Amino acid sequence: MTKKAYAEINEMQTKIEMQNVVKTFGRKNVLKGINLSVNAKESLALIGTSGCGKSITLKCLLGLITADDGSIKVDGKEICGADRKTMEGLRRSFGMTFQFGALFDSLPIWENVTFRLRKQQKMSRNDARDLAVETITQLGLSPQVIDQYPAELSGGMQKRVALARAIADKPEILLFDEPTSGLDPITGGVIDRLIIDAVKRLGATAMTISHDMASVRRIADKVAMIHNGVIIWSGKVTEMDDTGIPEVNQFVHGLSEGPLTLAAKEEAWRG
Amino acid sequence: MISFLQNIGQAALGFFASFGRIALFTTNAVRWTLLPPYYLRQFLRQLLDIGFFSLPVVGLTTLFSGMVLALQSYTGFARFSAEDTVATVVVLSVTRELGPVLAGLMVAGRVGASIAAEIGTMRVTDQIDALDTLSTRPMQYLVAPRILAGMICLPFLVLVGDLIGVFGGYIVGVYRLDFNPSIYLSRTLEYLEFADVAMGLIKAAVFGFLIALMGCYHGYYSGRGAEGVGRATTNAVVSSSILILISNYLVTVLFFG
């Protein structure tokens, strides 16, 4: 086998695999059996109505929430039921941005960006500041912001700092929870471009939760839609307009008429 | 009838669930306070927040309490010609009871609320989840430094509060009740034992632990939104104040006699 063919097969290897993942809170069955797989260096967008369990799926993947049943594998390693130490080791290969940034209010930007490197790898103050400047400059921010605090930045700048924090120690897997929510279309477009660049530059596997279909079309190779706690469709981003599934069609095109009524959403939310 | 029993059952289950959660949280908090890594900068920041910035409120509270105590005990003891004991009553009351309990309650209001609000806000804005994803244990980074700082700062605050409270009694005794300054001072020290001060300091360390623990617990499990954080803050102050009063009695019983 040639080196190129081997590399191609290697690239197609499954990075993340979720099988029959179930999660219940009280009487509410949020995930009823999620089946999902993401290949290495692939960018998957997870879509679905609010409260359908997208964020819970990501949190299960990170081990922030323990799934009640099913299997979640990262690089073939089972993480469901893994002990805390194994999970902490695994999390080092993840970088995540949260919906509202989740930057640490009490720390300046440079410490936010290099938090893991400072705490885990004992990176020196000077090296950390240099790395923070390098990372935020790549994301189009001025080096002067490194000594500011998160509250002093605009929403778009905070999202870029959150992205800088996620990519600072070059993780293999990047997770984005609604990276463009609350941003104007121009800033949203800039964030999308930065995400695409960062994922490409790091050769990372990415999973993005988004309601913004324009953003999904830009950043994703593959799309999966969650409805009623299960994946009802997954496929290439180019195929999502013609799935023939009414729920997917309604969601993708933002139609008010269709099976996803507000009453049905409320019913699903109540479980 | 069934719904009535159901409600009672649900309330009982809720109570035991909360009790179990607090017990687990306490065990984890103590465990992660003892185990490395230690976050020195976080700890120093908490020393400042809990200790240094609480000095004015504790100082003012104990000063006026010492002054009032001198006046009230004089009024009472004068009825059976025992005015001489005012200095002794002031110093023993302040060191054994008033200093630790008043300082504890004031710090519970100031610091317990602030810890719960800060950690609660971190919870609702996903900062605690972010800590986890950045391979840092929230228990060690957020809870352990606060508990350790609480246990160290409270005895220090009580010691300062004791001195200020006794000084308040002295001011009233000498300048208002016309006691001889040197006699007042000698009466203050005559019956004071090391055990009296030590007991107050032990109580203070227990109160410091409880204040930080309740602040962290209610913040950590804060509900969503501003209402959730507000409720966590209230619960932190109320529960730590009640626990201070209960533990005050228990520690007193332990050292009684």
pLDDT of residue A268: 62
More confident residue, A257 or A160: A160
pLDDT of residue B80: 87
pLDDT of residue A48: 93
Residue B216 lies in a domain: yes
**Mutation for testing the A interface, residue in B49, B126, B224 having most A CBs under 10 Å:** B126
Partner residue facing B135 (CB), from A59, A99, A116: A116
Contact across the interface for B135 and A96, Cβ inside 8 Å: no
Average pLDDT over residues B221-243: 95
Q: Which residue of B has its CA nearest to A96?
A: B133
Rounded to whole angstroms, the Cα distance separating A92 from A75 reads 13
Residue B196 lies in a domain: yes
Which band of pLDDT confidence, cut at 50, 70 and 90, is reported for residue B1? confident
Contact across the interface for A100 and B127, Cβ inside 8 Å: no
pLDDT of residue A260: 82
More confident residue, A202 or A257: A202
Q: What are B70-114's pLDDT values in tens digits?
A: 999 999 999 988 889 999 999 999 999 999 999 999 999 999 999
> Per 3-state DSSP, what percentage of chain A is helix, strand, and coil (rounded to 5)?
45, 25, 30
**Mutation for testing the B interface, residue in A105, A121, A149, A207 having most B CBs under 10 Å:** A105
pLDDT of residue A270: 62
Average pLDDT over residues A97-114: 94
Contact across the interface for A102 and B130, Cβ inside 8 Å: yes
Residue B164 lies in a domain: yes
pLDDT of residue A267: 65
Residue A1 pLDDT exceeds 80: no
pLDDT of residue B256: 74
Partner residue facing B133 (CB), from A94, A104, A120: A94
Mean of per-residue pLDDT scores for chain A: 89
Q: Which residues of A touch B38 (CB under 8 A)?
A: none
As given in the structure block, the two tokens for residue A63 are 């081990």
pLDDT of residue A8: 55
A/B interface, count of CB pairs below 8 Å: 51
Total domains in chain B come to 1
Percent of chain A residues topping a pLDDT of 70: 92
Q: Which residues of B touch A105 (CB under 8 A)?
A: 121-122, 127
Residue A10 pLDDT exceeds 70: no
Residue A4 pLDDT exceeds 70: no
Residue B231 pLDDT exceeds 60: yes
Partner residue facing B134 (CB), from A100, A105, A116: A116
Residue B92 lies in a domain: yes
Residue B123 lies in a domain: yes
Which band of pLDDT confidence, cut at 50, 70 and 90, is reported for residue A174? very high
Partner residue facing A62 (CB), from B125, B133, B141: B133
Partner residue facing A91 (CB), from B121, B122, B133: B133
Contact across the interface for A104 and B132, Cβ inside 8 Å: no
Q: Which residues of A touch B141 (CB under 8 A)?
A: 119
Lookup result for tokens 């200093």: B99
Which band of pLDDT confidence, cut at 50, 70 and 90, is reported for residue B183? very high
Residue B75 lies in a domain: yes
How would DSSP label each residue in B189-247?
HHS--HHHHHHHHHHHHHHHHHHHHHHHHHHHTPPSHHHHHHHHHHHHHHHHHHHHHHH
Mean of per-residue pLDDT scores for chain B: 95
Contact across the interface for B132 and A94, Cβ inside 8 Å: no
Q: Which residue of A has its CA nearest to B135?
A: A88
**Mutation for testing the B interface, residue in A25, A64, A167 having most B CBs under 10 Å:** A64
Residue B60 lies in a domain: yes
Query: How far is the CA of A261 from the CAs of A52, A225, A244, A248, in angstroms?
Result: 13, 16, 18, 13
Contact across the interface for A62 and B130, Cβ inside 8 Å: no
Residue A213 pLDDT exceeds 70: yes
Q: Which residue of A has its CA nearest to B125?
A: A102
As given in the structure block, the two tokens for residue A216 are 């999904």
Which band of pLDDT confidence, cut at 50, 70 and 90, is reported for residue B179? very high
Rounded to whole angstroms, the Cα distance separating B89 from B69 reads 8
Q: Supply the range of the domain harboring residue B93.
A: 54-251
Q: Which residues of B touch A99 (CB under 8 A)?
A: 126
Is residue A215 helix, strand or coil? helix
Partner residue facing B129 (CB), from A102, A105, A115: A102
Say what the ipTM of the complex is: 0.87
Strand A222-227 relative to strand A43-47, pairing: parallel
DSSP state, B30? H
Which band of pLDDT confidence, cut at 50, 70 and 90, is reported for residue A271? low
How close does chain A come to B238, measured CA to CA in Å?
26
Is residue A223 helix, strand or coil? strand
Strand A77-78 relative to strand A14-25, pairing: unpaired
How close does chain A come to B121, measured CA to CA in Å?
10
pLDDT of residue A5: 61
Q: What are B36-79's pLDDT values in tens digits?
A: 999 999 999 999 999 999 999 999 999 999 999 999 999 999 99
Residue A121 pLDDT exceeds 90: no
Percent of chain A residues topping a pLDDT of 90: 68
Q: At what angle do helices B225-255 and B194-220 cross, to 10 degrees?
A: 160
Rounded to whole angstroms, the Cα distance separating A219 from A217 reads 6
Residue B133 lies in a domain: yes
* Closest alpha carbon to B61 in B206, B140, B161, B145: B161
Partner residue facing A64 (CB), from B132, B137, B141: B132
Are B46 and B145 in contact by the 8 Å Cβ rule? The answer is: yes
Residue A151 pLDDT exceeds 70: yes
Contact across the interface for B127 and A59, Cβ inside 8 Å: no
Residue A269 pLDDT exceeds 90: no
**Residues whose CB is less than 8 angstroms from the CB of residue A169 and which lie 6 or more positions away in sequence, other chains included:** A92, A95, A116, A117, A121
Contact across the interface for B132 and A59, Cβ inside 8 Å: no
Are A30 and A24 in contact by the 8 Å Cβ rule? The answer is: yes
pLDDT of residue A84: 83
pLDDT of residue A6: 58
Determine which of A1-15, B19-33, B179-193 has the lowest per-residue pLDDT on average.
A1-15
Lookup result for tokens 């912001």: A145
pLDDT of residue B237: 97
Contact across the interface for A96 and B130, Cβ inside 8 Å: yes
Q: Which residues of B touch A98 (CB under 8 A)?
A: 126, 129-130
Residue A46 pLDDT exceeds 90: yes
Q: How many CB atoms lie within 10 A of CB A187?
A: 17
* Closest alpha carbon to B107 in B223, B224, B243, B231: B243
Rounded to whole angstroms, the Cα distance separating B39 from A177 reads 29
